[in-house]
Amino acid sequence: MKRTQVYYNAKGHLGQYEDWWYLIQNDDGTVEVENEWDHVNVNGLAKNQGAKKYSLEEGMKEAPHNAVSKIKEILGQ
């Protein structure tokens, strides 16, 4: 499996809302897109973190434009 970061974004006045997007190229030839996030609400220090994998088609719909461009570049589309 090859996992390539295609996008990173940090928002909030402390950069406390972080999102990473990855292109996953599995050994069996399938391709997926993964979103990983770590969001901290400064008021109350509530934390929301996790990850979600998408099929390539769904991932291209959900990912930010810059991530989609990088995925297309990597896959030669």
Place of tokens 């297309």: 72
Neighbours of 35 (CB within 10 A): 19
Going across the sheet that includes 2-11, the strands are 2-11, 17-25, 31-41, 46-55
Domain harbouring 21, CATH code: 3.10.450
13, 37, 51, 63 from 40: Cα distances, Å: 11, 10, 15, 21
pLDDT tens for each residue of 10-36: 998 777 899 999 999 999 999 999 999
On whether the CB atoms of residues 25 and 31 are closer than 8 A, the answer is: yes
pLDDT of 14 reads 78
65 pLDDT band (50/70/90 cuts)? Answer: very high
Please give the model's pTM, rounded to 2 decimal places: 0.88
Res 45 pLDDT > 90: no
pLDDT of 7 reads 98
What is the residue range of 31's domain? 2-75
Count the domains in the chain: 1
On whether the CB atoms of residues 31 and 1 are closer than 8 A, the answer is: no
